[in-house]
């Protein structure tokens, strides 16, 4: 199984951002090198929906150019499922825009956030990805 490495500081940043987006889905980009996340970048969900997200194109493109300029990889995309499990929905599987990158899906149960990571192929096939945690 493949993996990504996520530091606790980045997970704290993701959770805080997703919490601020409730009751809607939050989303963003994970930048780094190889499989190691070095930066978390929230992006506006223009759908303002509890069941779907679409990143604001200008923000997304600006970040991708910035990553390239600084020699960073797009390690992954994160988004939340405020009303469901941390598993790709049918919408997620149909609308995958970056096959090959990790999709970190976060869900809230009570006051606790959890996440699972996947690769989603252009045909919607899933491969589970291990999240390696670092302090």
Q: What is the CATH number of the domain that holds 52?
A: 3.40.140.10
**Domain encompassing residue 64:** 3-130
List C-alpha distances in Å: 125 to 63, 78, 85, 92, 116: 27, 18, 18, 11, 15
Give the H or E element holding residue 73. Answer: strand 73-81
Cα separation of 120 and 92, whole Å? Answer: 8
Q: For residue 99, what pLDDT is reported?
A: 76
Instruction: Decide if 125 is inside a domain.
Output: yes
- Catalytic residue, chosen from 25, 58, 130, 135, is 25
Lowest mean pLDDT among 56-60, 64-68, 77-81, 109-113: 109-113
Residue 25: active-site member = yes
**Count of domains forming the chain:** 1
Q: For residue 28, what pLDDT is reported?
A: 98
Structural tokens at position 88: 């790709």
pLDDT in tens, 23-32: 999 999 999 9
Q: For residue 95, what pLDDT is reported?
A: 85
Q: For residue 1, what pLDDT is reported?
A: 52
Long-range contacts of 38-45 (CB under 8 A, 24+ apart): 38/72, 39/10, 39/72, 40/10, 40/13, 40/14, 40/78, 42/17, 45/21, 45/79
Q: In terms of pLDDT, which residue wins out, 62 or 111?
A: 62
Cβ neighbours for 26, distance < 8 A, ≥ 6 positions apart:
17, 18, 20, 42, 45, 53, 79, 80
pLDDT above 90 coverage of the chain, percent: 80
Residues in a beta bridge with 120: 126
Which DSSP symbol is given to 63?
H
Instruction: Decide if 43 is inside a domain.
Output: yes
CB 81 within 8 A of CB 55: no
pLDDT in tens, 75-127: 999 999 998 899 898 888 888 888 779 999 999 988 899 999 999 988 888 99
Instruction: Decide if 13 is inside a domain.
Output: yes
Instruction: Decide if 135 is inside a domain.
Output: no
């Amino acid at each position: 199984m493949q993996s990504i490495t996520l530091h606790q500081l980045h997970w704290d940043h993701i959770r805080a951002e997703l919490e601020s987006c409730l009751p809607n889905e939050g989303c963003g980009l994970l930048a780094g090198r190889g499989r190691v996340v070095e930066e978390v970048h929230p992006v506006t969900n223009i759908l303002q929906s509890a069941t779907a997200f679409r990143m604001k194109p200008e923000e997304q493109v600006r970040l991708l150019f910035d990553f390239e300029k600084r020699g960073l990889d797009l390690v992954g995309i994160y988004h939340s499922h405020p009303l469901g499990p941390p598993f790709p929905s049918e919408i997620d599987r149909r609308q995958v825009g970056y096959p090959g990158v990790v999709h970190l899906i976060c869900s809230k149960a009570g006051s606790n956030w959890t996440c699972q990571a996947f690769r989603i192929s252009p045909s919607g096939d899933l491969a589970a990805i291990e999240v390696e945690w670092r302090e």
